[in-house]
Amino acid sequence: MVFIAGGFLEVLRNKIVVLADTAERAENINEAKVEEARARAEKDMKEVRHEDAQEFARIAASLEHELAKTRAISRWRHLKK
């Protein structure tokens, strides 16, 4: 299981090509750091609210990135069983 963020996916007849900005094996993701980043992003979203739309969007994207990592870890654990 690999967490991939950003980039492109091309499906061909007999292969898949992935060009990603970020790729991490799920087993190598530091869950404590992900949780810390998620909590920080949630806190920042509450503080910024909608006063600064650009900053709010950046924080929301960061939060979604961390949640996607959490899902990758969860799926990897499920497949490992």
Torsion, CA 23, CA 26, CA 30, CA 35, rounded to 10: 100
Q: What is the mean pLDDT of the chain?
A: 89
Going by pLDDT thresholds of 50, 70 and 90, the confidence category of residue 50 is low
Q: What is the pLDDT of residue 7?
A: 93
pLDDT in tens, 19-43: 999 889 988 999 999 999 999 988 8
Distance CA 17, CA 47 (A): 40
